[in-house]
């Protein structure tokens, strides 16, 4: 059974999340603050962590950073409107995805499944020479990209961008992290480059509507091979 650790300081939300996740076949552990969350994560080794950013003791961003020092467990952060700015920080610190409160269980479950599947695929990532995300096949060694068996022409930069997103498939990659990894350490604020390259990639991948390369406005990009359930707000 998949073990999920939920860290939130609101007992009512914890209770509702526990019931909902258990009904969907997850094994649920809860923690009421950051310190308890960190210690439970190290003892029980969950398969996934749902982490609220507004914790009473340790900032959610800091919890994320400390988790990433020893584990690659997928982390989905719960952000409220007053923690929007820290949502990007949390993603930069290694969180995989985010859900904005209030959210429906359906949406949360979809995000959990995506994060779990990509985490499973990502594990032996260091050794792989090719990646497949939905219809897209990226051969890292030969630097060849095929969409549904048909090879497509990409510039070197476009290929690097796609390869980085594919290596982190399912994860929300922030503007800053993409610019650093693909353009180089001197970059970080040139989000307009990304807009241009993302639209070129979408065109070449036949993905103009964007179900594959998802834009998170103000946050970053995410390569997903299935469309997460739309929010029912």
Partner 1 sequence: MLPFRSHLSLAAAALVFVLPVVAAMVIGGAWVGIIAVVVGFVVLDVAFIPPYGTLTVGSGQNWVALVAYVAVVLLVAKVVSRLQQLRADAARNATDSRRLLELSELLVADKPVSEMLGVVASSVLGAFDLETVALLLPSEETGYLEVVASVGVTLQGESLERLMPAPGTPASLTGSVVAGALLRQIPLAAAGRPVGLLVLRGRALDVHDRALLATYANHAALAIERAQLRHQALRADLLQEVDAWRAALVGTVAHDLRTPLASIKVAVSDLREPGIVLADAARRELLETIEEQTDRLTRLVSTVLDLWRLEAGARRPKRESVVVEDLIDEAAALVDSTLDASRLRKVIAPNLPPAEVDPTLIAQALANLLENASRHSPPGREILVEAMRRRGSPDAIELAVSDSGPGVPPEQRELIFDLFHRGAGGGRAGLGLAIAKAFVEAHGGRVGVGVSRAGGARFVLTLPATSGPSRELPSEEKVFS
Mapped onto helix, strand or coil, the DSSP state of residue 6 is strand
**Contacts for 55 with CB less than 8 Å, ≥ 6 apart:** 7, 8, 9, 33, 34, 37, 63
In this structure, are strands 144-147 and 150-152 parallel, antiparallel, or unpaired? antiparallel
230 touching partner 1, by CB under 8 A: no
Size of the site for partner 1 (CB under 8 A): 38
**27 lies in the binding site for partner 1 (CB under 8 A):** no
* Shortest separation between residue 191's beta carbon and partner 1, angstroms: 25
Query: Looking at 19-27, 145-153, 193-201, 203-211, which segment touches partner 1 (CB under 8 A)?
Result: 19-27
Q: Which residues of 25-37 are buried (b: 16+ CB within 10 A; e: fewer)?
A: ebebbbbbbbebb
List the one residue out of 95, 113, 122, 97 whose CA is nearest residue 25: 113
**Residue 9 binds to partner 1 (criterion: CB under 8 A):** yes
Judged by CB under 8 A, the stretch of 11-19, 130-138, 161-169, 202-210 that binds partner 1 is 11-19
Element (H, E) at 194: helix 191-205
**Touching partner 1, residues 39-98 (CB under 8 A):** 53-61, 78, 80-83, 86
- C-alpha 88/C-alpha 85 separation (Å) is 6
Helix, strand, or coil (residue 30): strand
Q: Check residue 125 for interaction with partner 1 (CB under 8 A).
A: no
Smallest distance, Å, CB 226 to partner 1? 17
Cis bond before residue 194 (omega within 30° of 0): no
Residue 118 CB, nearest approach to partner 1 (Å): 23
Q: Could you tell me the sign of the dihedral formed by the alpha carbons of 204, 205, 209, 214, in that order?
A: negative
Other Cβ atoms less than 10 A from the Cβ of 225: the count is 18
* Residue of the chain from 3, 24, 137, 202 that contacts partner 1 (CB under 8 A): 24
Shorter beta-carbon distance to partner 1: residue 11 or 151 = 11
Q: At its nearest, how many Å lie between partner 1 and the CB of residue 19?
A: 5
Q: Which is nearer to partner 1, 18 or 180 (CB)?
A: 18
Among 3, 68, 101, 204, binds partner 1 (CB under 8 A): 101
Residue numbers at the binding site for partner 1 (CB under 8 A): 9-13, 15-17, 19-20, 22-24, 33-34, 53-61, 78, 80-83, 86, 101-106, 108, 232
């Amino acid at each position: 059974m998949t073990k999920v650790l939920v860290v939130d300081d609101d007992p009512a939300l914890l209770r509702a999340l526990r019931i909902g996740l258990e009904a969907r076949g997850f094994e649920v552990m809860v923690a009421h603050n950051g310190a308890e969350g960190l210690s439970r994560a190290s003892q029980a080794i969950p398969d996934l962590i749902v982490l609220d950013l507004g914790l009473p003791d340790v900032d959610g961003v800091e919890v994320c950073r400390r988790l990433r020092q020893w584990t690659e467990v997928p982390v989905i952060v719960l952000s409220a409107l007053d923690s929007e700015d820290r949502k990007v920080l949390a993603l930069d610190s290694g969180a995989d995805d985010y859900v904005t409160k209030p959210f429906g269980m359906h949406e949360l479950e979809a995000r959990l499944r995506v994060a779990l599947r990509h985490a499973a695929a990502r594990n032996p990532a260091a050794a792989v020479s090719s990646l497949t995300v939905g219809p897209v096949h990226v051969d890292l060694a030969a630097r060849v990209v095929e969409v549904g068996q048909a090879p497509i022409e990409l510039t070197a930069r476009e290929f690097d961008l796609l390869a980085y997103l594919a290596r982190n498939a399912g994860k929300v990659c922030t503007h800053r992290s993409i610019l650093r990894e693909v353009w180089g350490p001197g970059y970080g604020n040139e989000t307009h480059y990304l807009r241009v390259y993302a639209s070129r990639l979408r065109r070449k991948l036949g993905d103009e509507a964007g179900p594959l390369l998802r834009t998170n406005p103000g946050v970053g990009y995410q390569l997903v091979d299935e469309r997460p359930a739309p929010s029912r707000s």
